[in-house]
Amino acid sequence: MVGATGYTGVELLRLLVMHPGVEISCVTSRSNDGTRVDEMFPSLRGFLDLPFTVPDDGRLAEADVVFFATPNGVAMDSVPALLKAGTRVIDLAADFRIRDAGVWSQWYGMQHACPELIAEAVYGLPELNREAIRTARLVANPGCYPTAVTLGFLPLVERGLVELDSLIADAKSGASGAGRKASVANLLCEAGDSFKAYGVAGHRHLPEISQNLRQISGVDALDLVFVPHLLPMIRGIHATLYARLTHGFQAMEPADLQAIYEQRYARETFVDVLPPGSHPETRSVRGANLCRMAVHRPQNGRRVVVLSVIDNLVKGAAGQAVQNMNLMLGFQEETGLRHPGLLP
Amino acid sequence: MVGATGYTGVELLRLLVMHPGVEISCVTSRSNDGTRVDEMFPSLRGFLDLPFTVPDDGRLAEADVVFFATPNGVAMDSVPALLKAGTRVIDLAADFRIRDAGVWSQWYGMQHACPELIAEAVYGLPELNREAIRTARLVANPGCYPTAVTLGFLPLVERGLVELDSLIADAKSGASGAGRKASVANLLCEAGDSFKAYGVAGHRHLPEISQNLRQISGVDALDLVFVPHLLPMIRGIHATLYARLTHGFQAMEPADLQAIYEQRYARETFVDVLPPGSHPETRSVRGANLCRMAVHRPQNGRRVVVLSVIDNLVKGAAGQAVQNMNLMLGFQEETGLRHPGLLP
Amino acid sequence: MVGATGYTGVELLRLLVMHPGVEISCVTSRSNDGTRVDEMFPSLRGFLDLPFTVPDDGRLAEADVVFFATPNGVAMDSVPALLKAGTRVIDLAADFRIRDAGVWSQWYGMQHACPELIAEAVYGLPELNREAIRTARLVANPGCYPTAVTLGFLPLVERGLVELDSLIADAKSGASGAGRKASVANLLCEAGDSFKAYGVAGHRHLPEISQNLRQISGVDALDLVFVPHLLPMIRGIHATLYARLTHGFQAMEPADLQAIYEQRYARETFVDVLPPGSHPETRSVRGANLCRMAVHRPQNGRRVVVLSVIDNLVKGAAGQAVQNMNLMLGFQEETGLRHPGLLP
Amino acid sequence: MVGATGYTGVELLRLLVMHPGVEISCVTSRSNDGTRVDEMFPSLRGFLDLPFTVPDDGRLAEADVVFFATPNGVAMDSVPALLKAGTRVIDLAADFRIRDAGVWSQWYGMQHACPELIAEAVYGLPELNREAIRTARLVANPGCYPTAVTLGFLPLVERGLVELDSLIADAKSGASGAGRKASVANLLCEAGDSFKAYGVAGHRHLPEISQNLRQISGVDALDLVFVPHLLPMIRGIHATLYARLTHGFQAMEPADLQAIYEQRYARETFVDVLPPGSHPETRSVRGANLCRMAVHRPQNGRRVVVLSVIDNLVKGAAGQAVQNMNLMLGFQEETGLRHPGLLP
């Protein structure tokens, strides 16, 4: 596992130490070489006795799977060698999420180190790409917002129920989405007891979500407005999604809409559609690998509202990575991931 | 002042004890008769030495203005007598906000006690109805969400820039909006460290906002989707507003949109339009009588996004009530209301 | 399981549904008869499909163990019948914690319904009474503060290192300690973003802690000052403990003090002594059945400071109850209780 | 005003822009030269239209008073020149708080630049040194913890009521005490939703508090244990103080203790002694220049417990600085500082 000093990293370790089929061979961090992992994260005392070590591609290549929980742009430097050595890779950062290397460079501000591998990478949203993930050598673990938004819109877009130029994703995230790096903006005294939007002009998850919705709809001309907001709390994303029903579907019964959601996710362990009239709370999925949602049609009008919540560090990052690993290694998809959220 | 045991009440007291032209003659509360106000709210120790008393219309009628910071449906029982006695009234609850008594009854679940006075009541949003407020006998102080949403949409709707069937208000409020009454739902352990939508099927502020936007646009056929959410914090509303530009205005320059907002509010002390590209934070108006906003047009597309923040207890309730009182009594509109937000 | 509508109840259910050796036969609540448990607590959706039912001693008696997660004074009415029927009982409330029925009545304000059973009840702190718990018919699960304070003082008091009239426990608890009942005092807007002491004149956990320390020291004349405080967060207790070394031990080396703590808890899975100089954080045990502590001797003076943290709902309530159940039923003590805290 | 990019700085600006007798001539910040102050702190929009400028001793010397809201060790480089120029100085940092330059160096890790001025500096706690402050050229504004702790212990120590080797200050502070600098430790995701002690081995405010208590008692041999803790909130300090009554005073009536506190602070506008049995909340002084306290004697035993709260940024920093300025410039001591706390 490469880069475990961030929130995604420690969450991945929390899940992996409880996983019955996993042995963690090494945990790397260039800047903390020699420090015990549980000294930095005392919650792991008694569960992991490894120190951080400097990343070494040879050593990493001995593992069945290597996770990258690193900043964007790090994984792509090591992935070619690891794949060549026969190791499979799950990248929790964004290096392999965007199909178009030009678009990627534009949003991430750097050249891609191995554009030839982008096409091979599988976008690791099991509810969308389960079969491809099983055999993938390289999985691009989805972003947190894209997970909540894509799963929320999926049934509507898949069936062509809504106008694709009417989509709005008003998304709110806890502060852990910003990572564990020294910054003024994410101090308790800045991000606490307050609320704001950010990145209205353009956020990196916009092209990722649009790409997903294009794949699902098969339509290129799609206009999504995506506004992320920062919540004064640590974990949790709530996406409030808006769309306008196409003319043909305005006569649809409310019960039909509910049924469409329930059927689409009936066999998905990690997606939970609430009964009609519900409002999911982020706390109900705290620590759990689950996307919980409800679908509404206010005043029985033309507009549909979907409420979709995840724990950004679990179903939005580390839990989804373990779900992908389970698929890749032939474990039961649920292994190590079935536990209720921590409420209250 | 009637009913001061809630958050709106104590906030109104905080502002009134600092107001140079106000003397508080009595503070009523049926259930706390005899208790000193500053025993319930120690923050007022040294500023107010009155006890709560049982409301008495005769005594109230001696005041120049009576504020009702009571639950919905209380003020309407006393208002006719007070007006007859020549006392002016500012109702911080919803009794006189909705023009149509039938609509009011439907949303508030009771018969109106004095429907004949509804037409006379002035909706107390000074930025919309300043002149009428000056001479009003009865002012209906606006709801918190309606203040943030109406002021945010106003310049767009007033100029006919946007399609009136495309309006969405995704609004988030701190928990003080739910008031100071014993309830499980608003416990720290329920509302804290979590986020959810509520009332998607229909919230009482929807008809109030729609009524405002109809007044501003002069158009009846208007379709607004309003989704309120509960923030894990005490004070602050953030409204994220979405609308689609009408065909004629799609060619508008970004700078024009900004200029429209700046001009509309150029002479308004209590509305602050931020520079282009800004994201207002609720904390920047904590404790202040101010609506701060920014206007965006993501990717220069057809959709406009307005970000509008207030302190729900100040510009969304008690501060606006004092602003209305200032207008009614001939004080400078800013009197007692000019101080910066408490940041951090 | 009796009474599962509170925070202790839902936490116990979270742990029990994950326990490999437990089947939950019924979950009772008089006021929610017929409601599905997972409707009240959506975090349990997919893990528990029982409705709440009215408590019925006959039905309860069929279980191997009955947990009472009820208000104080409820369990004592049912316990005699259950014990007679051969069912074992773990009471998470305070009915059987205090040896002296007179003292109990004085602090809890009611007559005890079965004082004859108090002597039989075992105080369920495994680190103190492990062997007695194994064979107990009736276990009094400790209070949250008493767990953190007793485990923190234990090594000092057991060895006679400190003056027993110098003890101070300055304890801070998250709001979940106050339970899930409608009240103004525990609203987010009252308990959030603020901090205060409470119960300085006397708190019900004072006689419980004193009783524990008397048992440990074998000395009756003991003077403890206990000041609880309310933290603006949900889970977690931090006890800061102060004591003065007896004359004989003032010459002790700092390393000796550390060694005494480490040795005392060397074989305890659920107590973790941190290295010298550490400061345990409540978040490091969030959701975990663990008491984590550090011992200090500032400026190498006469005073010892112990920092002791638990999750009040886990090691301070539901987790400890499961630990006791494991001992009573012959499971491994750790079964269902080994997982890292949820950090961040 | 020198250095206004921190929380103390912005709070000082909030108070100064409202002060009727103050004109802010310049606000300096080396790293933000040219940026408008209200761009960094939008809460000040409409109240201050100055940009940050590079500090310039000549320009500063034109002011009647210069405030230093800078990191420790900055003021001492400029103070000699400013005093020589006849300008008076209030240092909100620690440069002139400790009488003994050797002790200062030991705790602050640097050489003092002008040890000859330390003796002249007046420690700016008006309740202790009011008259000296009026004529001081150089005021050392007290630390936040020392303000809450010193005022809380003062009546006990002044009268010789307690054993000076029994003092304990268990203090809890909001995160704004740590300042506005990029750091991992103070991220919302680190300091939020958690609680811990820190600096148990020794905190810089320990020698400052001890010095105050020595001055008050006139006794050198004094043993104080001081344990600071970090609260998951922004503003507020709560000091819980413990002391043992001397033998002579154990027979004292509870009412006497209360009376001693009330009398000591009867004429102090900015200290509020609550009625017997009270528990002050930090929120009751949020934004206010006030130390609110209550005194207890649990179980009527030998130990006294004092609960003392302040807003660390106001009475613990910027408000106290304005109070000192008022004294120095001959304003009424209360000018610009009389307003209730922001509750809720």
Alpha-carbon span C69 to A244, nearest angstrom: 47
Closest partner residue to D187 (CB to CB) among A187, A232, A233 is: A187
Determine which helix (DSSP H) or strand (DSSP E) holds D90, and give its type and residue range: strand D88-91
**Would you call D190 an interface residue with chain C, using a CB distance cutoff of 8 Å?**
yes
Which of chain D's residues have a Cβ under 8 Å away from the Cβ of B43? 283-286, 288, 340-343
Alpha-carbon span B1 to B70, nearest angstrom: 10
Residue of chain D with shortest Cα separation from C309: D196
Within chain C, what is the greatest distance between any pair of CA atoms? Answer: 64
Mean pLDDT across chain D = 96
Alpha-carbon span D78 to D113, nearest angstrom: 9
Confidence of residue A54 (pLDDT cuts 50, 70, 90): very high
- Model pLDDT, residue B2: 86
**Would you call B265 an interface residue with chain D, using a CB distance cutoff of 8 Å?**
no
CB A199 within 8 A of CB A225: no
Residue for token digits 């417990």? D305
CB C262 within 8 A of CB A317: no
* Percent of chain C surpassing pLDDT 70: 100
**Would you call C307 an interface residue with chain D, using a CB distance cutoff of 8 Å?**
yes
Q: What is the pLDDT of residues A289-319, one digit of tens each?
A: 999 999 999 999 999 999 999 999 999 999 9
- Model pLDDT, residue B46: 97
Q: What is the pLDDT of residues A276-293, one digit of tens each?
A: 999 999 999 999 999 999
Q: What is the pLDDT of residues D49-103, one digit of tens each?
A: 999 999 988 889 999 999 999 999 999 999 999 999 999 999 999 999 999 999 9
Alpha-carbon span B36 to B50, nearest angstrom: 6
Which of chain B's residues have a Cβ under 8 Å away from the Cβ of C11? none
Closest partner residue to D344 (CB to CB) among B7, B283, B340 is: B7
Full 3-state SS string of D7-53: HHHHHHHHHHHHCCCCCCCCEECCCCCCCEHHHHCHHHCCCCCCEEE
Confidence of residue C92 (pLDDT cuts 50, 70, 90): very high
Is A65's pLDDT higher than 90? Answer: yes
Q: Residues C126-143: what's their mean pLDDT?
A: 98
- Model pLDDT, residue D338: 94
Ranges of CATH 3.40.50.720 domains, chain D: 7-120
Q: How many CB atoms are closer than 10 A to CB C183?
A: 15
Q: Residues D179-197: what's their mean pLDDT?
A: 97
Residue of chain B with shortest Cα separation from C192: B188
Q: Residues B52-60: what's their mean pLDDT?
A: 90
Alpha-carbon span B310 to B282, nearest angstrom: 6
Which of chain C's residues have a Cβ under 8 Å away from the Cβ of D207? none
Q: Residues D217-246: what's their mean pLDDT?
A: 97
Quick check: D176 and A183 CB within 8 A?
no
Alpha-carbon span C42 to A274, nearest angstrom: 9
CB C206 within 8 A of CB C271: no
**Would you call C195 an interface residue with chain D, using a CB distance cutoff of 8 Å?**
yes
Which of chain B's residues have a Cβ under 8 Å away from the Cβ of D339? 14, 18, 339
Six-digit token string for C253: 């080396």
**Would you call D160 an interface residue with chain A, using a CB distance cutoff of 8 Å?**
no
Alpha-carbon span D115 to D104, nearest angstrom: 10
Which of chain A's residues have a Cβ under 8 Å away from the Cβ of D234? 188-189, 192-193
Closest partner residue to C175 (CB to CB) among B180, B181, B188 is: B188
Which of chain B's residues have a Cβ under 8 Å away from the Cβ of A165? 302
With 0-12 / 13-18 / 19 or more C-beta atoms within 10 angstroms meaning exposed / middle / buried, residue B169 is buried
Which of chain B's residues have a Cβ under 8 Å away from the Cβ of D285? 43
Q: How many CB atoms are closer than 10 A to CB A143?
A: 24
- Model pLDDT, residue C1: 79
- Identify whether A291 is a catalytic site residue: no
Residue D246 makes CB contacts below 8 A (sequence gap 6+) with D160, D161, D162, D163
B256, B239, B226: which is closest to B156 by C-alpha?
Answer: B256
CB A167 within 8 A of CB D168: no
Long-range pairs for C254-259 at CB < 8 Å and ≥24 separation? C254/C297, C254/C300, C257/C295, C257/C297, C257/C304, C258/C295
Q: Residues A155-179: what's their mean pLDDT?
A: 97
Q: Residues B256-285: what's their mean pLDDT?
A: 97
Residue of chain D with shortest Cα separation from A189: D234
Q: Compute the radius of gyration of chain B from its Cα atoms.
A: 20
Residue C79 makes CB contacts below 8 A (sequence gap 6+) with C89, C91, C95, C96, C114, C117, C138
Is C250's pLDDT higher than 90? Answer: no
Bridge-partner residues for C171, per DSSP? C228, C239
Quick check: C280 and A42 CB within 8 A?
yes
Confidence of residue D2 (pLDDT cuts 50, 70, 90): confident
Quick check: B180 and C189 CB within 8 A?
yes
CA B133 vs CA B125, B299, B331: distances in Å: 8, 41, 13
How close are the terminal C-alpha atoms of chain A, in Å? 31
CA dihedral (C285, C288, C289, C294) in degrees, to 10, reads -20
With 0-12 / 13-18 / 19 or more C-beta atoms within 10 angstroms meaning exposed / middle / buried, residue C12 is buried
Which of chain C's residues have a Cβ under 8 Å away from the Cβ of D282? 194-196
**Would you call A184 an interface residue with chain D, using a CB distance cutoff of 8 Å?**
yes
Q: What is the pLDDT of residues C179-217, one digit of tens each?
A: 999 999 999 999 999 999 999 999 999 999 999 999 999
Alpha-carbon span D159 to D216, nearest angstrom: 9
DSSP symbol at C27: E
**Would you call D307 an interface residue with chain C, using a CB distance cutoff of 8 Å?**
yes
Closest partner residue to C46 (CB to CB) among A7, A234, A272 is: A272
**Would you call A7 an interface residue with chain D, using a CB distance cutoff of 8 Å?**
yes
The DSSP result for A135-178, as a single string, is H-SEEEPPPHHHHHHHHHHHHHHHTT-B-TTSEEEEEEE-GGGG
Complex ipTM > 0.90: yes
- Model pLDDT, residue A11: 98
Q: Residues C253-258: what's their mean pLDDT?
A: 88
Determine which helix (DSSP H) or strand (DSSP E) holds A296, and give its type and residue range: strand A291-296
Q: Residues C134-161: what's their mean pLDDT?
A: 98
CB D309 within 8 A of CB D286: no
Closest partner residue to B287 (CB to CB) among D41, D46, D287 is: D287
Ramachandran category for residue D288: left, alpha or beta (phi over 0 → left; psi -120 to 50 → alpha): beta
Mean pLDDT across chain A = 96
Residue C225 makes CB contacts below 8 A (sequence gap 6+) with C167, C168, C169, D242, D298, D301, D303, D305
Q: How many CB atoms are closer than 10 A to CB C119?
A: 9
Q: Residues C27-37: what's their mean pLDDT?
A: 94
Residue of chain D with shortest Cα separation from A7: D189
Six-digit token string for A192: 């606490």
For residues B33-59, one letter each, b for 16 or more C-beta atoms within 10 angstroms of the residue's C-beta and e for the rest, the string is: eeebbbebbbbbbbbbebbbbebebee
Is B124's pLDDT higher than 80? Answer: yes
Quick check: A188 and D232 CB within 8 A?
yes
Alpha-carbon span D238 to D291, nearest angstrom: 10
Q: Residues D306-331: what's their mean pLDDT?
A: 98
Task: Identify the three-state secondary structure at position B141.
Answer: coil
Residue of chain D with shortest Cα separation from A177: D189
Which of chain D's residues have a Cβ under 8 Å away from the Cβ of C170? 170, 240, 242
- Beta-strand (E) ranges in chain C? 27-28, 52-53, 65-68, 88-91, 122-123, 138-140, 167-173, 196-197, 224-230, 237-244, 271-273, 291-296, 303-310
Amino acid (1-letter code) at residue B117: L
The DSSP result for A28-53, as a single string, is E-STTTTSBHHHH-GGGTTT--PBEE
B198, B227, B226: which is closest to B211 by C-alpha?
Answer: B226
Closest partner residue to B184 (CB to CB) among C182, C192, C193 is: C182
Alpha-carbon span A163 to B59, nearest angstrom: 60
CB C153 within 8 A of CB C295: no
**Which of A137-146, B86-95, C129-138, D250-259 is predicted least confidently?**
D250-259
Q: What is the pLDDT of residues B12-38, one digit of tens each?
A: 999 999 999 999 999 999 899 999 999
Is D202's pLDDT higher than 80? Answer: yes
Q: Which of A26, A114, A144, A291 is catalytic?
A: A144
DSSP symbol at B25: -
What is the pairing mode between strands B237-244 and B167-173?
antiparallel
Confidence of residue D3 (pLDDT cuts 50, 70, 90): confident
Residue for token digits 């015990």? A36
C229, B18, B179: which is closest to D288 by C-alpha?
Answer: B18
Closest partner residue to A17 (CB to CB) among C274, C286, C340 is: C340
Confidence of residue A163 (pLDDT cuts 50, 70, 90): very high
Q: What is the pLDDT of residues A132-150, one digit of tens each?
A: 999 999 999 999 999 999 9
Q: Residues A78-89: what's their mean pLDDT?
A: 97
Residue of chain D with shortest Cα separation from B281: D42
What is the pairing mode between strands B52-53 and B27-28?
parallel
Is D254's pLDDT higher than 80? Answer: no
Task: Identify the three-state secondary structure at position A257.
Answer: helix
Q: Residues A16-37: what's their mean pLDDT?
A: 95
The DSSP result for B179-239, as a single string, is -SS--STTBHHHHTT--EE--TT--THHHHHHHHHHHHH--S---EEEEEEE-SSSS-EEE
With 0-12 / 13-18 / 19 or more C-beta atoms within 10 angstroms meaning exposed / middle / buried, residue B31 is exposed
Confidence of residue C273 (pLDDT cuts 50, 70, 90): very high
Q: Which of D114, D144, D189, D291 is catalytic?
A: D144
C17, C15, C26: which is closest to C50 by C-alpha?
Answer: C26
Ramachandran category for residue A46: left, alpha or beta (phi over 0 → left; psi -120 to 50 → alpha): left
Ranges of CATH 3.30.360.10 domains, chain A: 145-312
Within chain D, what is the greatest distance between any pair of CA atoms? Answer: 64
Q: Residues B320-331: what's their mean pLDDT?
A: 98
Is B41's pLDDT higher than 90? Answer: yes
**Would you call B116 an interface residue with chain C, using a CB distance cutoff of 8 Å?**
no
CB D57 within 8 A of CB D79: no
Return the CATH class of domain C7-120. alpha beta
Pick the CATH number of A145-312 from 3.90.180.10, 3.40.50.300, 1.10.3720.10, 3.30.360.10: 3.30.360.10
Determine which helix (DSSP H) or strand (DSSP E) holds B75, and give its type and residue range: helix B75-84
D297, D284, D322, D185: which is closest to D242 by C-alpha?
Answer: D297
Residue B248 makes CB contacts below 8 A (sequence gap 6+) with none
Q: What is the pLDDT of residues D109-152, one digit of tens each?
A: 999 999 999 999 999 999 999 999 999 999 999 999 999 999 99
Please tell me the distance in Å from C31's CA to the nearest CA on chain A.
21
Q: Residues C299-307: what's their mean pLDDT?
A: 95
- Model pLDDT, residue A81: 96
